[in-house]
């Protein structure tokens, strides 16, 4: 890479950051995310799997928030604070990886459908439309239930059912990019399918991809918690499994509001942060939205 390219890239990044910084909601979201991810990453330095063990924790059952248990305890005397902290790892990990799987499938199929016109593109779009119409939560539930619950299968179940909208978005963008003259020039110079899709199309769709990945992580976290609540889990503590526990042990009837409120607020905060970030990215990166009031 020549020095000119790097200077240009650095300048583009600077412009992007300037635009993003002006989105107050987006910056707030980003701040929450950085804190959440940092907390999840450093968790093993302070606590371990033991905080979720029923045997090791001998606190009072359904104890209201106190100095010792800032967020109270659950039905087995485990500290909600520590559980939420430890559970963040599973929730965030599944959210990120499921979004990654979904984005990978969506990008590859979307670019392929836009690049190869004719029957290949048509066939891919047919399959995409079919997946788009399937009720995704129901399909993910069936997939996860049949494959058996493990972290990997939950990630796959969410990823495999949520890619179609990305594929459509990327296909539209690919068509727009390939209509530009420089693609024709590249073809005339002997650029093959691989060269055009990876060197010209992919960098052009990447910004949009970033925005929609961010939004996808948000919905993957919601889906994970819903699957966990409906009993299809990776058998690891996550915010979803905690809420399932609160339902099974009738926390509402016991008046243990903290057991229901805290894990849910964690989901809400992280999902909203991702959504705010994603919307801000969209506003900055999508030329169609640039300069409009919305």
Partner 1 sequence: MTAPLEAAEPAAAQAAGPAGDDRPARHGVLRYALTKAGGALLSIAMVIIATFFLFRLLPGDPVRNLAQGRNMTPEQLDLERRRLGLDKPLTDQFFDFVGQTLRLDLGTSYEYKRPVLDLIGERLGPTLLLAGVGLFIAVSLGLWQGTRAGWRPGSRFDRFSTATSLVLWSVPTFWLGLLLLMVFGAWLKIFPSRGIESVDAPDGFGYVLDVAWHMVLPCLTLVGVVYAQYLLVMRSSLLDEVGQDYINTARAKGMRDDEVRRRHAVPNALLPTVTLVFMRIGFVVGGAVTVETVFSWPGLGKLFYDAISVPDFTLMQGTFMLITVAVIVMNTLADVVYHILDPRVRSA
249 binds partner 1 per the rule CB under 8 A:
no
Which part of the chain contacts partner 1 (CB under 8 A), choosing from 57-65, 76-84, 129-137, 206-214?
Answer: 129-137
Distance CA 280, CA 283 (A): 5
- 70's tokens: 């800032």
The yes or no reply on residue 94 touching partner 1 (CB under 8 A) is no
CA distance 273 to 261: 18
Q: Which of 63, 186, 230, 249 binds partner 1 (CB under 8 A)?
A: 230
Min dist CB 9 to partner 1, Å, is: 30
The CB-of-113 to partner 1 minimum distance in angstroms stands at 17
Residue corresponding to tokens 């024709």: 184
Burial label for 139, CB within 10 Å (0-12, 13-18, 19+), is: middle
What letter would DSSP give residue 65?
Answer: S
**Where are the alpha helices (H) located in the chain, listed in sequence order?**
3-21, 24-46, 80-115, 119-133, 136-147, 151-162, 164-178, 181-188, 193-195, 202-229, 239-248, 251-254, 257-285
Site string for partner 1, 144-183 (x = CB under 8 A): -xxxxx----------------------------------
CA 266/CA 87 separation, integer angstroms: 10
Q: What angle do CA 12, 113, 189 make, to 5 degrees?
A: 60
CB of residue 240 vs partner 1: minimum separation in angstroms?
A: 8
Task: Please tell me whether residue 222 binds partner 1 under the rule CB under 8 A.
Answer: yes
Residue from 92, 205, 276, 281 that binds partner 1 (CB under 8 A)?
Answer: 276
Q: Does 46 interact with partner 1 (rule: CB under 8 A)?
A: no
User: Is 231 among the residues that bind partner 1 (CB under 8 A)?
Assistant: yes
Task: Decide if residue 43 touches partner 1 (CB under 8 A).
Answer: no
Nearest CA to 280 out of 33, 76, 38, 75 is that of 33
State the nearest-atom distance from the C-beta of 251 to partner 1, in Å. 8
253 lines the binding site for partner 1 (CB under 8 A) = yes
- Contact status: 137 vs partner 1 (CB under 8 A): yes
* Interacting residue ranges for partner 1, rule: CB under 8 A: 126, 129-130, 133-139, 141-143, 145-149, 218, 222, 225-226, 229-232, 240, 243, 246-247, 251-253, 255, 257, 260-261, 264, 267-268, 271-272, 275-276, 288, 292-294
């Amino acid at each position: 890479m020549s020095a000119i390219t790097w200077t240009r890239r650095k300048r583009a990044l600077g412009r992007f950051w300037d635009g993003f910084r002006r989105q107050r909601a987006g910056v707030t979201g980003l701040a929450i995310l950085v804190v959440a991810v940092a907390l999840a990453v450093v968790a093993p330095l302070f606590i371990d799997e033991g905080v979720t063990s029923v045997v090791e924790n001998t606190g009072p059952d359904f104890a209201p928030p106190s100095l010792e248990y800032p967020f109270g305890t659950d039905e087995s005397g485990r500290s909600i604070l520590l559980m939420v902290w430890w559970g963040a790892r599973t929730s965030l990990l599944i959210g990120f990886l499921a979004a990654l799987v979904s984005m990978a499938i969506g990008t590859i199929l979307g670019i392929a459908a836009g690049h190869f016109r004719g029957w290949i593109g048509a066939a891919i779009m047919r399959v995409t439309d079919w997946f788009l119409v399937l009720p995704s939560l129901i399909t993910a539930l069936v997939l996860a239930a049949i494959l058996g619950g493990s972290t990997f299968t939950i990630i796959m179940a969410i990823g495999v059912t949520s890619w179609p909208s990305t594929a459509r978005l990327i296909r539209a963008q690919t068509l727009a990019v390939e209509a530009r003259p420089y693609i024709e020039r590249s073809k005339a110079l002997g650029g093959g399918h691989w060269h055009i899709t990876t060197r010209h199309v992919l960098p052009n769709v990447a910004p949009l991809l970033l925005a929609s990945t961010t939004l996808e992580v948000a919905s993957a976290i919601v889906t994970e918690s819903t699957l966990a609540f409906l009993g299809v889990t990776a058998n690891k503590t996550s915010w979803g499994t905690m809420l399932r526990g609160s339902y099974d042990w009738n926390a509402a009837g016991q008046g243990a509001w903290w057991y229901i409120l805290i894990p849910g607020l964690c989901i809400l905060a992280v999902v909203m942060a991702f959504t705010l970030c994603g919307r801000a990215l969209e506003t900055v990166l999508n030329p169609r939205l640039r300069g409009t009031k919305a």
